[in-house]
Amino acid sequence: MEYFHNKSKANLAVTTAIVILSIAILTAMEHNFTNVRAQTDLTNSTLFVSGSASNQTKPDKVVVSLGVETTDNTAQAALTSNSNLMNKVLESLKAAGVQENETSTSTFSISPNYNYSSNNNQGRLIGFTVSNSIQIESSSIESVSKWIDAAVSAGANNVNNIYFSLSSQKSDMMKNSLLKDAIDNAKIKAGIAASAAGLKVIGVKSITVGEAGSSPPVPIYSAKAFDGVAESPTPIISGKQEISVTVSIIYLIG
């Protein structure tokens, strides 16, 4: 009896193992079939294409930073001299057409000057320098040369930076215009790719508009202004800026 009992237990164990192994094999087969089907569906019914469009345009906004730097034996003397000159500069800019709401103070500083020529590590105080710069932000980019000449004539001796850029209104208008061109560019690519594979574009599954890009503001870097008045207007050239739009489109093909 014990012999038959042990044999029955052995047969049960073998049967259980076979059942478990069969379930595992069936599960794996079902999993693999699902993956292949999903991949096949994506490969055969959709086509991913990106499109782009760009254009160049003249800036319609300018930011000019200019100012006055003065040095004297005392901080008060340097400040007084600087204030007198800056007031003259502001009056000259106003006469040249700069509006009051287009100007603001960008930097102001009072710093001591030391002479380190002796062996004294701390240096010897020899005076103070006052620097006062203003920023002009305007859409009158054709007036930049006139403004710089007027400011230098009145006493400005620093032209820190000039940046040309696009206003948000003009930038948005160009992006909206380029969006259609970018979609048309993607559509052409999709048609060529589908035709080469013996298929046709039958619809659009999704469209994603990428971040529109534009070239950075065009700078004219810091320069010390010379004394005196220029014989001819200072040549300032704004150039052109490029703006671009990209789209990503998933087409349905068949």
Per-residue pLDDT of the chain (254 residues; tens, 9 = 90+): 444 444 444 444 444 444 343 444 344 334 332 222 223 344 458 999 999 999 999 999 999 999 999 999 999 999 999 999 999 999 999 999 999 999 999 999 999 999 887 666 677 889 999 999 999 999 999 999 999 999 999 999 999 889 999 998 998 999 999 999 999 999 999 999 999 999 999 999 999 998 766 666 655 544 444 444 445 677 888 888 889 999 999 999 98
**What does DSSP assign to residue 227?**
S
Of 127, 130, 129, give the one whose Cα is nearest residue 86: 130
- The pLDDT assigned to 254 comes to 86
Of 33, 112, 31, give the one whose Cα is nearest residue 71: 112
- The three-state DSSP-derived secondary structure of 74-115 is CHHHHHHHHHHHHHHHHHHHHHCCCCHHHEEEEEEEEEEEEE
- The pLDDT assigned to 238 comes to 80
Say if residues 108 and 86 touch (Cβ distance below 8 Å): no
Q: Under 8 Å CB-to-CB from 31, ≥6 apart: which residues?
A: none
Q: What is the spatial distance between Cα 125 and Cα 134, in angstroms, rounded to a whole number?
A: 28
Residue 194 belongs to what H/E stretch? helix 168-196
- Max CA-CA distance within the chain? 125
Tell me the sheet residues that pair with 21: none
The pTM of the full predicted model, rounded to 2 decimals, is 0.65
